[in-house]
Amino acid sequence: MRHARVVLATLMYCSAFFLPWWVGALIGLILAVRYRAWEVVLFGALLDVLWLPSGFFFGLPLATCIALTVVWMLEPLRRQFMFDYAE
């Protein structure tokens, strides 16, 4: 199962450069549901560094804020429904 996490995380990071934004968001959501995936937050920071508009919403790091919210909100759900939580 660790190999799947590494492959998904690598694909998510590559999607920031080569694929549409929604592919990375979908992979990040899958990672956040299945694992305690702080790499999703790092992916949000990467997107903000690469694609942050300077004037939109005063330059707030929206992808990072959304990623933090998703990872934080899915923690109780993962704890309740996943049996092998120790991974």
pLDDT score for 79: 75
Q: Chunked in runs of 10, what are the mean pLDDT values of the chain (87 residues)? A: 88 92 91 87 88 66 86 81 57
Contacts of 40 (CB under 8 A, 6+ apart): 12, 28, 31, 32, 67, 70, 71
**What's the pLDDT at 7?**
94
Give pLDDT, residue 57: 59
Sequence ranges of the domains in the chain: 2-81
